[in-house]
């Protein structure tokens, strides 16, 4: 890895689907949270990371490093606004949202 060749600590974390927790709907490290903290995008109503250039058509991988890299501003608010196109068009998204709402009770 390029960062290690330059004497920085670096770990690449691939998606860990085999460690997926069905109750928490997540794995050991949330790539979605890492994406929002790095300013990559926000978590949309469809529960995917939404990026301005590519929408949700992205594949997330996280790299942890002590290299002094420039970072984006964390995104802590959804930018879906009044849009609900994914919810209205996808029965599985509606089902996911209903299930998540039940867990908050």
Minimal distance, residue 55 CB to ligand SF4, in Å: 7
| Residue 56 in tokens | 């949700």
Dihedral of alpha carbons 47, 49, 55, 59, sign: negative
Q: Report how far Cα 2 is from the mean position of its chain's Cα atoms.
A: 24
Nearer to ligand SF4, 28 or 92 (CB): 92
Query: Does the footprint of ligand SF4 cover residue 85 (CB under 6 A)?
Result: yes
Minimal distance, residue 46 CB to ligand SF4, in Å: 4
The 8-class DSSP code of residue 76 comes to -
Length of the chain: 105
Query: Does the footprint of ligand SF4 cover residue 45 (CB under 6 A)?
Result: yes
Which residues here bind ligand SF4, judged by CB under 6 A?
44-46, 50, 80, 83-86
């Amino acid at each position: 890895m390029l960062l290690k060749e330059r004497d920085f600590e670096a770990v690449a974390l691939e998606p860990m689907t085999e460690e997926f927790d069905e109750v928490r709907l997540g794995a050991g490290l949330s790539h979605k949270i890492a994406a929002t903290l790095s300013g990559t995008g926000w978590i949309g109503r469809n529960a995917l990371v939404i990026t301005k250039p590519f929408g949700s058509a992205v594949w997330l991988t996280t790299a942890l490093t002590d290299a002094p890299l420039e970072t984006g501003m964390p995104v802590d608010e959804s930018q879906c606004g009044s849009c609900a196109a994914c919810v209205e068009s996808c029965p599985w998204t509606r089902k996911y949202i209903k299930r998540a709402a039940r867990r908050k009770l």
